[in-house]
Every structure is written in C-alpha cells, then in structure tokens.
C-alpha cells in the first residue's frame, strides 16, 4: 500500500503536489512553517492553503532527484515541483530571488564566476542546480505538470572553492573538513546569511504555489 493511501490528498480537490527538495538544510523552514508530518523515510506531508502536499528529501544530484520524483508519483502525486536552492549565473540575481526557469542542471557545483559565466554561455541559463532537469524528465515521462521553485543561495561573484574544493562533486564530508580552517569562516558566514534569506523565500514561494 502506498503511503498516499493514508488519506493523503483527502483535504482538497486540487491535484496532489509532490515536491522534490534535496536536503533538510534547504527544507528546514518549509517543514516547520507548514507543519509537515513525517509519514515515511524522507517523506512528509502537509496541507497548505487547503492543498495537500507531499515532500521528499531526495539527496543531492540527478539520480537521487529522479528516484524521489518517481516515489512521489507512486504515492499519488499528480504534479511535481523541483524546490530548493540554486546558484546565480548572472550578476543581476541576488540571494533570495526566485527562479522558475532557465536553470542548468550540472553534476558538480559551479564554484567561480568564470565557471558560471561559461555555463551561461553554453546553456543560456541564469541559474544552476544539481536536480531540476531530472525532475522535469521524470515528470515529462509520466505526463504530469512540473513546477520549478528554486531560490538563489549563492551569488554570481561568490568564489566557493575554499568551501567546496577545486573540483569533483558535492561532498558534505569535504565541506565539514574545510570548515575546520578559519580562513573559510568568512565565506561560510556569508553563505549562511544567504541561505537564511533563501529558506524564507522558499517558504513564501510554496505558499504562493498552493493558493
């Protein structure tokens, strides 16, 4: 029996919305503000403005997002949303700005302004993340509407190499080790402020999407 059989979606005639969000760090404010309840491993539900929502913490990366999207559809979701943080590829975007299209999905973070500029030129994108394209592909394959609710957490000019390293993929353990170096702390404090702004904007975006 799918988790959605437990009266998920019974509160509203609106289509059940399934949200893919990579990490608890990104989802924290959303989970608390809307009173999400845990109904399975990494799976939560809430009713927002009368609409039932399922949220899955996918983990980072395309394949994790693809699996989460498939799980939400199996649970009865009739629409999908890729939600979370993104990086700005143009100087005009600032922390907390909502991005709903022209997002490039990559397999390793864009760490420097030079990398971001090259990605903009190559993909005609204004923002970058590591999951959205997989959610779009899975939703398209299953014939359901797809929404993108991504909020800028790192800006175009930010050099993330002191925190993320010089190459390779996303590694939480690597970040934790680099945070032991005091020279990284100013960047970490700035990104923490950006993340707080982005989290609040994510909650506002979800509220608007459910009205």
Encode pLDDT of 126-182 as tens digits: 999 999 999 999 999 999 999 999 999 999 999 888 777 766 566 777 777 777 888
The mean pLDDT value for 178-191 works out to 84
- Helix spans in the chain (H): 24-33, 62-74, 113-123, 132-142, 161-164, 172-178, 185-210
Alpha carbons within 13 A on the beta-carbon side of 86: 33
The mean pLDDT value for 13-31 works out to 94
- Residue 12 has what pLDDT? 53
Q: pTM of the prediction? A: 0.87
- Residue 166 has what pLDDT? 67
Q: How far apart are alpha carbons 161 and 207 in whole angstroms?
A: 34
pLDDT averaged over every residue in the chain: 90
Angle of CA points 38, 40, 42, to nearest 5°:
75
- Secondary structure letter of residue 182 according to DSSP: G
The answer to whether residues 125 and 104 touch, using CB atoms and an 8 Å cutoff, is yes
The answer to whether residues 78 and 19 touch, using CB atoms and an 8 Å cutoff, is no
**Residue in 114, 146, 116, 118 with CA at minimum distance from that of residue 128:** 116
Q: Is the pLDDT of residue 3 over 50?
A: no
- How far is the first Cα of the chain from the last one, in angstroms, to the nearest whole number? 30
**For residue 141, which phi and psi values (nearest 5 degrees)?**
-60, -35
Least confident of 16-30, 43-57, 88-102, 148-162: 148-162
Report the DSSP beta bridge partners of residue 46: 53
Residue corresponding to tokens 């498939």: 70
The residue ranking higher by pLDDT, 8 or 207, is 207
């Amino acid at each position: 029996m799918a988790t959605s059989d437990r009266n998920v979606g019974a509160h509203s005639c609106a289509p059940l919305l399934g949200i893919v969000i990579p990490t608890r760090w990104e989802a924290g404010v959303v989970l608390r503000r809307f009173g999400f309840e845990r109904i399975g491993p990494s799976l939560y539900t809430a009713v927002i403005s009368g609409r039932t929502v399922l949220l899955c913490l996918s983990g980072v990366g395309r394949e994790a997002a693809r699996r989460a999207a498939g799980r939400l559809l199996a649970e009865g979701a009739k629409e999908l949303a890729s939600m979370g943080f993104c990086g700005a590829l143009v100087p005009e975007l600032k922390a907390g700005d909502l991005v709903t299209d022209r997002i490039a999905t990559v397999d390793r973070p864009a760490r420097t302004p030079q990398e971001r500029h090259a990605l903009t030129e190559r993909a005609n994108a204004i923002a970058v993340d590591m999951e959205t394209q997989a959610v779009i592909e899975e939703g398209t394959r299953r014939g359901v509407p797809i929404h993108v609710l991504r909020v800028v957490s790192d800006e175009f000019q930010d050099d993330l190499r002191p925190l993320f390293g010089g190459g390779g993929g996303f590694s939480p353990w690597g970040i934790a080790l680099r945070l032991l170096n005091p020279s990284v702390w100013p960047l970490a404090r700035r990104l923490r402020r950006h993340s707080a702004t982005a989290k609040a904007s994510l909650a506002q975006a979800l509220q608007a999407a459910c009205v």
